[in-house]
Amino acid sequence: MQSLDEISDRAWALLAPHLAGKAGDVGRTAGDNRLFLNAVLWIARHGAAWRALPARFGKADTQRKRCRRWAQTGVWQRLFEAVQEPDLDWVMLDSTVVRAHAQAAGSQKKAASATRPSAAAAAG
């Protein structure tokens, strides 16, 4: 069974062709693109700092620098565009149709109802 911190085979098949370093590209073949994406997913899922990245993903500082480099060179943007569902471009959520829980809107919880003294205590 695949971990939630790992990219699925289906998602990898969609993303891999859009990444540099694949067989046939000039230069070094990046055999660790999938491992890197798994590291990014781990960070996103756990909300941890890069320094907390488990050793199985490689050096945390190297992965952090690579993530930043991908952002600066537009790799993340290209990947997001490659997997974007074109049919969902027109979807927009409007606050008039989305309901939030009452407490999300700032309402207070109802106080516990006041207890009434029992008739036996009043007869005393």
pLDDT digits (tens, 9 = 90+) for 107-120: 666 666 656 666 66
For the chain, the domain total comes to 1
- Domain assignment present for residue 121? The answer is no
- Domain assignment present for residue 23? The answer is yes
Measured CA to CA, the distance from residue 114 to residue 48 in angstroms comes to: 45
> In Å, how far are 9, 19, 38, 67 from 42, measured between CA atoms?
16, 19, 6, 13
pLDDT of residue 11: 86
- Domain assignment present for residue 31? The answer is yes
- E-only strand ranges, 1-124: none
Model pTM?
A: 0.61
What dihedral do alpha carbons 74, 80, 82, 84 form, nearest 10°? -150
Domain encompassing residue 52: 9-86
- Domain assignment present for residue 16? The answer is yes
